[in-house]
Structure 1
Amino acid sequence: MPELVHYRVADAVATITLDSEHNRNALSRRLVSELFECLERAESDAEATVVLITSAGRVFCSGADLSEAADGGMDEGARRIVALQRLIVSMDKPVVTRLAGPVRAGGIGIVAASDIVVASDDATFALTEVKLGLAAAIISLTVHARMSPRAASLTTLGGEVFTGAEAAAYGLVTTAVPADRLDEEVGRVCASLATGAAQGLRESKRILNRDLLARIDAHGEEMAELSARLFASDEARAAMTAFLSRKR
């Protein structure tokens, strides 16, 4: 069975690539498990100073795997996404995300947890949970910490699509560049980070993420329980069933 997440190291950068094209890199149990493994591998890899998360195919991440959620609920899945965000935030090494293509709902939690995000200006984002009777609960831990309050209200309540350029203005991503400059800018950022000393990077990241980590620890369980409850509700299950039927 081919892996859904790939790992390689070159020039002090551990590149982790989401590659689950059949479901648009949705956060299935298997993909999340493999992503955990790759992040933990990068953390302990002496050859890696920087961690880069990217994607294969046209979609960065389509959010939760709704087929799994409709079949088995989200009790454990919600907690795993909280833990995934916490891992990215608490790692000693800086985590950069290269973002091209669409990212939706739960996938935005990976973006917000990352230390630096370089997006294509035509990448698209949407917190679509509200359209399905859900709420952006577990990813609010990181997303709302990054965005301005007004931007968080607009995107969370509206559920509409916004661009990479808008995401940069909202504070969700670090910078947005033209698509033909994306790899160049990601390479520049990673090369700059790779010149940092391990201790300096570690302690600087701890200072930067102290409040965010405390927020996750204080509210993570509450948000996981809320998310699981909403996924199990009649309204959400009916909306997910209708959505999956349209996809077929």
Structure 2
Amino acid sequence: MSLIQTASDRGITTLTLDSPANRNALSAPLVTALADALAACGKDPGVRAVVLTHTGGTFSAGADLKAPPGPYAFVDLLRQIVELPKPVVGVVDGHARAGGLGLLGACDVVLASEGSDFALTEVRIGVAPAVISLTLLPKLEPRAAARHYLTGERFGTAEARAMGLVTGPTADLDPILDGLRRASPQGLREAKRLVTARVLETFEREAEELVQLSASLFASAEAREGMTAFLERRDPAWRL
């Protein structure tokens, strides 16, 4: 069974995360499948832009704790989205958590339904949003980023728009795709290079340090307790 469903319509290729049994968690196989699908889009001259969306009620629950990708593989996927010479439009209709927000941060445009919600839940299992900071911190309003990095609270679409995570409502999808179809491939490629330049500078400057931080946190005793508690559906030992 494919973890990524692909459909094309008038130059727009839609890649759908299709692993609803684990809420589209970022497993090693899903990350590989998405990277392969994006590579195919990048090479296809008939693809003007990519829509990244999901089946089920969750865009992505974040890292699959049972079969996680290597941190370098996930960094490579995030950078691949940022560097893809075609615009990527993320579409969320439901929940997005942790690493799923990193995917959205890598997208050029993000649309979300009013009923969607988001959370950076890493601190609640003993780690931190390390690698996904590469795509999130250059785009998020700093005070909002601090609150949600530190608390792991859920927040809705209105706040996600105010802090810079979400561009607009899902009702904007058709007008945006119409605009992308009207644009030239060269124009889109070069315009995207302009708006992603600062994000790519962050990758060059900080990716290795953040990979090492992520690896050390996930190997820690606190993270083992946090992940075990999460899988056992109980509070971790540090819960007050």
| Superposition TM-score, scaled by structure 2 size | 0.95
Q: Pick one of 188, 191, 197 that aligns with 2:175.
A: 188
Give, in whole Å, the separation in 1 of the partners of 2:183 and 2:44.
Answer: 16
The answer for the alignment partner of 1:126 in structure 2 is 119
Give, in whole Å, the separation in 2 of the partners of 1:7 and 1:241.
Answer: 35
The answer for the alignment partner of 2:129 in structure 1 is 136
* Aligned-residue offset at 1:185: 2.2
How do residues 106-117 of structure 1 correspond to structure 2 at under 5 angstroms?
Answer: 106-117=99-110
Residue 232 (structure 1) aligned with residue 219 (structure 2): yes
* Aligned-residue offset at 1:224: 0.9
* Aligned-residue offset at 1:199: 0.7
* Aligned-residue offset at 1:124: 0.6
Q: Percent identity?
A: 44
Q: How many residues get paired?
A: 234
* Aligned-residue offset at 1:238: 1.0
* Aligned-residue offset at 1:187: 2.0
* Aligned-residue offset at 1:164: 1.1
Shift >3 Å, 4+ stretches: none
* Aligned-residue offset at 1:186: 1.3
Give, in whole Å, the separation in 2 of the partners of 1:65 and 1:57.
Answer: 16
Give, in whole Å, the separation in 2 of the partners of 1:84 and 1:123.
Answer: 24
Give, in whole Å, the separation in 1 of the partners of 2:70 and 2:181.
Answer: 33
Please, what is the CA RMSD of the aligned residues? Answer: 1.2
Give, in whole Å, the separation in 1 of the partners of 2:32 and 2:77.
Answer: 9
Q: Pick one of 98, 107, 114 that aligns with 1:105.
A: 98
* Aligned-residue offset at 1:68: 2.4
Determine helix, strand or coil for the equivalent of 1:16. strand
Determine helix, strand or coil for the equivalent of 2:58. coil
Determine helix, strand or coil for the equivalent of 1:66. coil
* Aligned-residue offset at 1:153: 0.3
| Superposition TM-score, scaled by structure 1 size | 0.92
Instruction: List runs of 5+ in structure 2 lacking aligned partners.
Output: 235-240
* Aligned-residue offset at 1:173: 1.1
Check conservation: 2:138, 2:198, Cα contact below 8 A: no
Instruction: List runs of 5+ in structure 1 lacking aligned partners.
Output: 70-75
The answer for the alignment partner of 1:62 in structure 2 is 61
Give, in whole Å, the separation in 1 of the partners of 2:149 and 2:89.
Answer: 24
Relative to total residues, which structure has the larger helix share, 1 or 2?
Answer: 1
The answer for the alignment partner of 1:91 in structure 2 is 84
